[in-house]
Amino acid sequence: MGALFCSGIISTGSYVPDNIVTNKDLENIVETTDEWIVTRTGIRERRIAHANMATSDMAVIAAKRAMKESGLAPEEIDLILVATVTPDNNVPSTACIVQYSIGAVNAAAFDINAACSGFIYGIITAKQFVATGTYENILVIGAECLSRFTDWKDRNTCVLFGDGAGAVVISRVDSEVGILSQYMGADGSGGELLKVEAGGSRKPASLETVEQGLHYFYMDGSEVFKFAVRIMASAAMEAVKLAGLTRECVDYLVPHQANIRIIEGARKRLNLTKDKVYVNLDRYGNMSAASIPVALDGAVREGLIKRGHNIVLVGFGGGLTWASALIKWAY
Sheet holding 7-15, edge to edge: 7-15, 163-172, 137-145, 79-83, 108-112
Q: Which residues contact 259 (CB under 8 A, 6 or more apart)?
A: 40, 41, 42, 225, 228, 281, 286
In the residue annotation, 145 being an active-site residue is answered as no
113 binds ligand ACO (CB under 6 A): no
Number of residues that bind ligand ACO (CB under 6 A): 24
Of 5-13, 29-37, 243-251, 322-330, the segment contacting ligand ACO by CB under 6 A is 29-37
32 binds ligand ACO (CB under 6 A): yes
Least CB distance to ligand ACO at residue 46 (A): 13
Chain center to CA of 128: 19
* Identity of the residue, 135 or 227, whose beta carbon is nearer to ligand ACO in the bound complex: 227
In the residue annotation, 116 being an active-site residue is answered as yes
317 binds ligand ACO (CB under 6 A): yes
41 binds ligand ACO (CB under 6 A): yes
- Residue 197 CB burial class (10 angstroms; 0-12, 13-18, ≥19): middle
Given 6, 23, 96, 116, the catalytic residue: 116
How, if at all, do strands 45-47 and 194-196 pair? unpaired
44 binds ligand ACO (CB under 6 A): no
155 binds ligand ACO (CB under 6 A): yes
Given 137, 256, 259, 310, the catalytic residue: 256
70 binds ligand ACO (CB under 6 A): no
For the stretch 90-93, contacts whose Cβ atoms lie closer than 8 Å and that sit 24 or more positions apart, written own/partner, are none
Tell me which residue of 164, 302, 324 sits closest to 241, measured CA to CA.
324
DSSP state of 29: T
Q: Which residues contact 210 (CB under 8 A, 6 or more apart)?
A: 198
Of 45-53, 196-204, 219-227, 296-304, the segment contacting ligand ACO by CB under 6 A is 219-227
Whether the Cβ atoms of residue 319 and residue 191 lie closer than 8 Å to each other: yes
Task: Please identify which residue in 48, 140, 235, 258 interacts with ligand ACO, judged by CB under 6 A.
Answer: 258
- The whole-angstrom separation of Cα 68 and Cα 214 is 40
- The whole-angstrom separation of Cα 12 and Cα 331 is 11
Least CB distance to ligand ACO at residue 194 (A): 5
Q: Give one word for 81, left, alpha or beta, with left for phi > 0 and alpha for psi -120 to 50.
A: beta
C-alpha count within 13 angstroms, C-beta hemisphere, residue 4: 9
259 binds ligand ACO (CB under 6 A): yes
Query: What values do phi and psi take at 51, rounded to 5?
Result: -60, -30
How many CB atoms within 10 Å of residue 272?
18
Site string for ligand ACO, 176-215 (x = CB under 6 A): ------------------x---------------------
285 binds ligand ACO (CB under 6 A): no
40 binds ligand ACO (CB under 6 A): yes
222 binds ligand ACO (CB under 6 A): yes
* Identity of the residue, 44 or 247, whose beta carbon is nearer to ligand ACO in the bound complex: 44
Task: Please identify which residue in 70, 125, 137, 288 interacts with ligand ACO, judged by CB under 6 A.
Answer: 288
115 binds ligand ACO (CB under 6 A): yes
Interface ranges with ligand ACO (CB under 6 A): 32, 36-37, 40-41, 85, 115-116, 155-156, 159, 194, 219, 221-222, 224-225, 228, 258-259, 286, 288, 317-318
Give the catalytic positions in this structure.
116, 256, 286
